[in-house]
Amino acid sequence: MSALWTSEDAALATGGEVSAAWEAAGVSIDTRTLAPRDLFIALKGDKHDGHRFITEAYRKGAAACVSERSLAEPSLKVQDSYDALVHLARHARKRSEAYVVAVTGSVGKTSTVAGLAEALGRAAVHAPEGSYNNRYGVPLTLARMPRGARFAVFEIGMNHAEEIRPLSRLVAPDLAIITAIAPVHLEFFDSLRGIAEAKAEIFDGLKEGGSVIVNGESEFHDLLRDSAARKGAGAIVSFGGDEASDARLISCETEGEGALVKASLFGEEIAYRLSRLGRAHALNSLAILAAVRLMGEDAAAAAKKLAATQPLIGRGRKHRLRLGGKSLTVIDESYSANPASMKAAFESLALETGEGRRIAVLGDMAELGETAPFLHEALLPLLQEAKAARLFCCGRLMKSLFDKAPPSLRASWGESASSLLPPLLDSLQDGDIVIVKGSNMMGMAGIVKTLISAGKEDAA
C-alpha cells in the first residue's frame, strides 16, 4: 500500500519537526477507530485532549503521531495540532487533481453526498464517513484524500453564520450544491433569510468559473443565484418541479418498495428508479444527476446506480422484523430532525404500501429557538396526512404536539426515548409500520436498536 503521507510531506505541509522518518496510510483523530499505519493527530477539544491517547494510538499501530509535545516515537511536533490538521488538508487539496464537489443545505446533505458517490462509482470517489461536516470532519476528510482520487465529495454543515466560509475555502470546490433552505438552527438566526445567507457562504471557496446547483423551489433561489454570480460562478443550475428548472421533476410514483422518477435533465427526458419513497428524495436525486452532467459524466448510467443506493443508518433505512410473532416495518430516521426533514419523512410514510397501522415515535427537534413549540405543534396536520394511527412522543417540546393531537392518536408521552419502549412494545400489532425520528440528542436510535435486537430481521 502506497503512503498517503510521508514524514517529509507532512513536515512540508505543517512546518512541524519530524522525530524519525515514517509513512502513514491514513489519518485519524480518534483512537477508537484508528487503524494500523494511521497518522494520529492529537487534537485538543472542548472535552478531551488527544494527547492523553497517544500511548493508545501507538499501541494500536499508529505510524506516527502529530503532537504539541516532543515524543520519542515516530512523530511530528507542531505548535498547534488543529492548525496542523488544517495545513494537511490544504496541502492534500493542492496536490490533488480530483474534481471536488461541496454540498450544504438545511436537509438532505448527507444523503446527497452518499448518492453522488454511488452515482459516480464508489471506487473513483473520495467521500466522508457519515456526517463529517464540521470544523474537524471537513479537514480530516480532506487530509484523508488519496492522491489519485478522480472525484471528491464533501459535506459542509453549520449551525452559526461564518462556519461554512472557512471550510469552503479549504475545500475549494469545483462545484457547490445547496439542497434546501429550511427552518433549522433557528435558535442562532433571526430569520430564514439569515440561514440562506449563511448557506451561501459555500460560494466563497468556489473556484473561479465553478458550477453551482441550487433548489429552484426555494423562496431564496434568487438570493442564492445572485450570491453565486457575485462570487464568480460559471454555470448556475436549478432543480425542482417548476418549468424553469434545469433539472425538472415531472413525476414521482410509488413502484414496489421504491419510486419511479420521470424528469427532464437539461431538456432531455429521463426515467429511473429510487429505493426511497417521497418527492423530497426525488428532488435530491435531480441535484445529483445535474451534478453528474456538469462534471461531464454519463447521467443515464448514474441514474441506474441510484436505484441500488440504500438509505443510510438513521436516515430512512428500513428494517423488516419478526417480533413476538408479528411482522413489523421499522423506518429508522433517528439521526436528526427538523421541520423540513419531518415533513419529508411523513410524506414517505404516507406512501408506504403496507396495510398495517402507521405509528410515529418522535423526539424533540433541537435548536429551533422561541418558535420551537409552534413548530412541533405544526407537525400534527402532516401526521394526519400520513394517516398515522398512534403517536408516541418524548421530550419537553414534543409534549406540545402530543397535547394538541386528538385522543385517538395519542398513545404515550415520556421525558426520554427509553420511557417509550414499554408502551410501544405492548401496543405493537402485526403489520405495523413504525417510524422513529428525533434530533440526535434525544437518543431515538436506542429505540430502533431495541426493536431490532428484540426481533429477527428479515434478510429478504
Confirm whether 460 is domain-assigned: no
Instruction: Locate 149 and state its grid cell.
Output: 482520487
CATH number of the domain where residue 379 is located: 3.90.190.20
CATH code for position 38: 3.40.1390.10
* Claim to verify: residue 192 and residue 112 sit in the same structural domain: yes
Q: Give 164-187 pLDDT, tens digit per residue.
A: 999 999 999 999 999 999 888 878
Task: Between 268 and 277, name the one with better pLDDT.
Answer: 268
Domain co-membership, 44 together with 143: no
Q: Is the pLDDT of residue 133 over 50?
A: yes
Residues 143 and 218 in one domain: yes
For position 103, what pLDDT does the model report? 98
Query: In the predicted model, is pLDDT for residue 230 greater than 70?
Result: yes
The answer, yes or no, to whether residue 406 has pLDDT greater than 60, is: yes
Q: What is the mean pLDDT of the segment spanning 58-74?
A: 97
Residues 152 and 262 in one domain: yes
- pLDDT for 188: 87
214 located within any domain: yes
Q: Enter the C-alpha cell of residue 337.
A: 430532525
In a domain, 167, yes or no: yes
Taken as a whole, the chain contains a residue count of 460
Could you give the percent of the chain with pLDDT greater than 70?
Answer: 99
Question: Nearest 5°: phi and psi at 341?
Answer: -70, -30
CB neighbourhood size of 394 (10 A): 26
- Residue 460's pLDDT band, with cuts at 50, 70 and 90, is very low
Does one domain contain both 150 and 270?
yes
364 and 404, same structural domain? yes
Number of structural domains in the chain? 3
Output the average pLDDT for the chain.
Answer: 94
| Mean pLDDT score, 329-341 | 93
Q: Identify the pLDDT of residue 459.
A: 53
Closest CA to 277 of 246, 250, 256, 293: 256
Mean pLDDT of 265-276: 95
DSSP, res 242: S
Do residues 396 and 342 share a domain?
yes
pLDDT tens per residue across span 13-60: 999 999 999 999 999 999 999 999 999 999 998 888 999 999 999 999
Query: Phi/psi class of residue 130: alpha, beta or left (left: φ > 0; alpha: ψ in -120 to 50)?
Result: left
| 363 and 229 co-located in one domain | no
Which residue segment(s) compose the domain that 13 sits in? 5-78
Q: How far apart are CA 58 and CA 36, in angstroms?
A: 9
Residue 138 to residue 445: CA distance in whole angstroms? 25
Query: Above 90 in pLDDT, residue 289?
Result: yes
Predicted confidence at residue 71, as pLDDT, reads: 95
Element (H, E) at 110: helix 109-120
Residues 244 and 168 in one domain: yes
Q: What is the pTM of this model?
A: 0.91
| CATH number, position 196 | 3.40.1190.10
Contact at 8 Å (CB) between 445 and 420?
Answer: no
What is the pLDDT, as a whole number, of residue 442? 95
290 and 406 share one domain: no
Ranges 203-217, 234-248, 342-356, 416-430: which has the least confidence: 342-356
Last residue of one domain, picked from the residues 306, 334, 366: 306
